[in-house]
Structure 1
Amino acid sequence: MPAHRLAVYTFNQFVAPFQSDAIKGFRDAEPGAFAAIENANGFFARSGYDGEEGPESWGLQVFPKCWQNLNGDGWAPSTLSLWDSMEALMAATYHGDHGDAYRQGHKWHIKANHIPEYVLWWVSDGHRPDWSEAVARFENLIAAGPNAQAFSFKQAFAPNGQRIKPDTARIKALAALNRTLSTSA
């Protein structure tokens, strides 16, 4: 069992209210994207959302200070999950059903050059971060840039604080394994 898990918090803002026709493609893709993530090799767990079916929420869901509620519905797409490795997360994010939905994100999300779409950080095995911790890491990334406590795939760190680069061969192998798993399910 690994001594650390990779935590990831994703955040975006919708171009329109969640129930609008403009977001229908997102709503249609969301169940398949979540299923692809949850069935991916290296996935450990994810937070659900209060009042919704699925996994329990890891605390009260909060949003970063940069959130402006521009669509007026009081909701922003965000996720919080734990992974065995950066490569496993990258394989699940950029390939398969989730990858297909990810590539369409420009249709549903407001482009904000100064706001990242996600933050990564390591947690000790057995620690489950809550939404407040995730938002604090996200805001750390915005304020300080990539560092050992809040980083991105492009500027990543190992649990010991050393700079690392994802293993692209491993990402491809895990993406292929995920494809095999999804076709046999």
Structure 2
Amino acid sequence: MKSKRLALYTFGIFRAPASDPVNQGFHDRNDRNFLIAETSEGFIARSGYEEEAGPESWGTQVFPRFYREQGDGWTPSTLSLWKDLASPMAFTYAGIHMEAMRHGREWFLKPAWPPYVLWWVDWDHKPAWGEAVVRHEFLHDHKASPFAFDFKTCFDEDGRPTAIDSQMVKQNMRLNERRQQQPS
């Protein structure tokens, strides 16, 4: 059994305030994206948000220094745990999430920062939002390392450079697609 699991933090900034009608396409997909992620192969858990129904929040939500207040005190970010590298990649680059990414320029500023960060945590550790922000900023400032990395330059749970198993990604994509086609 593996002794670690993969943490994933995502961060973006809307072009306009969250409630602006230009962002409606994002909001329309948001709940479905969470549901698909939560039923994806290799998904373990995700942090919720304080004062919102759903999963427990893993601490107070904070944002990286790149955050730009637009009068609503909010910006899209997620924090989740996965069993391996192939699993979040299979979710990210397929289905409704991939379709939403195609519209990203309509909703989000082009980032001068990484849109996400990955890192390994001990099996019994639940990363807090503050920890995620530290890793995210580190990736931006220092590039990929075992401390903070991305899908292009990734590391295994022992800190060694590795490549993502593309066959496993494809297999997970097929499993996820089958799960989405099953009646609820």
Tell me the TM-score normalised to structure 1 length: 0.96
Which amino acid in 1 is paired with 2:62? V
| Secondary structure at 2:119 match in 1 | strand
The equivalent of 1:53 in structure 2 is: 53
Q: Which deviates more, 95-104 or 168-177?
A: 95-104
The equivalent of 2:177 in structure 1 is: 179
The equivalent of 1:161 in structure 2 is: 159
| Secondary structure at 1:175 match in 2 | helix
Distance 2:150 2:29 in 1: 25
Distance 2:8 2:62 in 1: 15
Residues 133-178 of structure 1 deviation map (CA, whole Å, 9 limit, x = unaligned): 0000001101111011000000001111110111111101100110
Distance 2:79 2:117 in 1: 10
Which amino acid in 2 is paired with 1:127? H
Q: CA RMSD in A?
A: 1.0
- State how 1:115-126 maps to structure 2 within 5 Å: 115-126=113-124
| Secondary structure at 1:97 match in 2 | helix
The equivalent of 1:93 in structure 2 is: 92
Equivalent residues, number: 183
Distance 1:140 1:85 in 2: 21
The equivalent of 1:27 in structure 2 is: 27
Query: Is there any run of 5+ residues in structure 2 with no aligned partner, and where?
Result: none
Tell me the TM-score normalised to structure 2 length: 0.96
| Identical amino acids, percent of aligned pairs | 44
Query: Is there any run of 5+ residues in structure 1 with no aligned partner, and where?
Result: none
Which amino acid in 2 is paired with 1:6? L
Distance 2:16 2:7 in 1: 28
Residues 105-158 of structure 1 deviation map (CA, whole Å, 9 limit, x = unaligned): 12111002x301000000010100000000000011011110110000000011
Q: Shift in Å at residue 182 of structure 1?
A: 0.8
| Secondary structure at 1:44 match in 2 | strand
Distance 2:136 2:8 in 1: 9
The equivalent of 1:147 in structure 2 is: 145
Which amino acid in 2 is paired with 1:50? E
Q: Shift in Å at residue 2 of structure 1?
A: 2.5
Distance 2:110 2:77 in 1: 15
Q: Shift in Å at residue 73 of structure 1?
A: 1.6
Match status 1:5 vs 2:37: no
The equivalent of 2:133 in structure 1 is: 135
Conserved 8 A contact 1:121-1:148: yes
